[in-house]
């Protein structure tokens, strides 16, 4: 996970943790290819606004693709200076204007033109944790089309698998379970101390993340290795349209009816994974499996789940993560 550490110069950059300059992100082949194709499709002759410019990567692509004007918005002073210096070195200052400001505080004094296309990579593994919905909504006062246009989320169900603890970002522990006989009082005291700081609800009903697994699965298959980690159910896609004001004002929530789940799920632990893809423009898509991002995921324990209960999932902006009930 990246952080929002404020910087004032490149000397303060941490290229392995700071938002906007996170080296694994700007090295992300799948993401870079997808956005480059989308930008080359829409930029020629257009007025572009790049929200969250970071190093200036997308702004440079837009200018080189023939954009008439590019507004490059970056809230961090250090990254804004870095992008501005980069634009000058590349001789693109006549086309690209770097603005050091939080986009959500920008107005017509900052961006006087109507915008043809807004382009933003403000997405994280929880999908919506970098304010892309607020950014898309705020952009409407300048007109234009937001890229990505839609986020399509598909809940997939998998059999429980020993690989899951290895690929989860965080521990799934919600109580003290030493798996040996010690002393009842000792176990209760440790458990009470732990749960005083980490309530079971904070773990049981909050999504974790799977990193790298789905990106690596095709390589295992190519080598003839079958991990037997297969999807056994796929829910109807849930779509968030970032160009529809009414859609993005609504809560992001959906559920799987208990009778839709495979019989296996009645008797065994299973995992839910939220796969997603971004519809950039026209026929261009970006699948999470082709990028660095992880997928929200959660193991549903059979002894915790209420029998015949639907599984409800929703994004909670207060914790910048997905919650669920079951």
pLDDT single digits (tens) 144-168: 999 999 999 999 999 999 999 999 9
Residue 23: helix, strand or coil by DSSP? helix
pLDDT in tens, 172-185: 999 998 999 999 99
Residue bearing the bigger pLDDT, 203 or 50: 50
| CA distances for 35 relative to 38, 40, 119, 142, 209, angstroms | 5, 8, 9, 21, 24
pLDDT 10s digits, 76-94 = 999 999 999 999 999 999 9
**Mean pLDDT of the chain, nearest integer:** 95
Predicted local distance difference test score (pLDDT) of residue 200: 85
Count of alpha carbons within 13 angstroms of residue 278, beta-carbon side: 29
CB 247 within 8 A of CB 240: yes
Note the pTM of the prediction, 2 decimals: 0.91
> In terms of Cα–Cα distance, which of 44, 95, 92, 107 is closest to 71?
95
pLDDT-derived band at 1 (thresholds 50, 70, 90) equals low
Q: Is residue 25 within 8 Å of residue 292, measured between CB atoms?
A: yes
- Decide if 18 contacts 55 (C-beta within 8 A): no
316 membership: H or E segment, kind and range: strand 311-316
pLDDT digits (tens, 9 = 90+) for 56-69: 999 999 999 999 99
pLDDT at residue 149, as a whole number: 97
């Amino acid at each position: 996970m990246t952080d929002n550490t404020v910087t004032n110069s490149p000397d303060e950059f941490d290229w392995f943790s700071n938002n906007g300059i996170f080296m694994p992100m700007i090295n992300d082949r799948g993401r870079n290819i997808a956005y480059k194709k989308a930008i080359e499709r829409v930029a020629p002759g257009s007025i572009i606004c790049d929200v969250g410019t970071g190093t200036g990567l997308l702004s440079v692509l837009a200018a080189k693709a023939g954009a008439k004007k590019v507004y490059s918005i970056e809230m961090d002073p250090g990254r804004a200076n870095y992008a501005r210096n980069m634009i000058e070195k590349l001789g693109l200052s006549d086309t690209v204007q770097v603005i050091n400001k939080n986009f959500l505080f920008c107005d017509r004094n900052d961006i006087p033109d109507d915008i043809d296309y807004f382009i933003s990579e403000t997405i994280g593994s929880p999908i919506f944790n970098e304010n892309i919905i607020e950014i898309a909504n705020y952009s409407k006062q300048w007109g234009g089309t937001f890229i990505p246009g839609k986020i399509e989320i598909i809940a997939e169900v998998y059999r429980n698998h020993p690989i899951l603890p290895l690929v989860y970002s965080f521990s799934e522990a919600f109580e003290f379970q030493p798996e040996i006989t010690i002393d009842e009082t000792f176990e209760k005291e440790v458990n009470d101390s732990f749960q005083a700081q980490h309530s079971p609800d904070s773990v049981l009903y909050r999504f974790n993340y799977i990193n790298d697994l789905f990106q690596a699965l095709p390589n295992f298959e190519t080598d003839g290795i079958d991990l037997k980690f297969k999807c056994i159910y796929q829910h109807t896609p849930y779509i968030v349209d970032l160009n529809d004001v009414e859609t993005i004002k609504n809560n992001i929530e959906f559920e799987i009816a208990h009778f839709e789940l495979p019989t296996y799920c009645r008797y065994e632990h299973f995992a839910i994974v939220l796969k997603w893809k971004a519809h950039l423009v026209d026929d261009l898509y970006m699948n999470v499996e082709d990028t660095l991002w992880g997928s929200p995921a959660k193991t549903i324990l059979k002894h915790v789940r209420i029998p015949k209960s639907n599984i409800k999932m929703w994004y909670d902006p207060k914790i910048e993560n997905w919650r669920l009930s079951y």
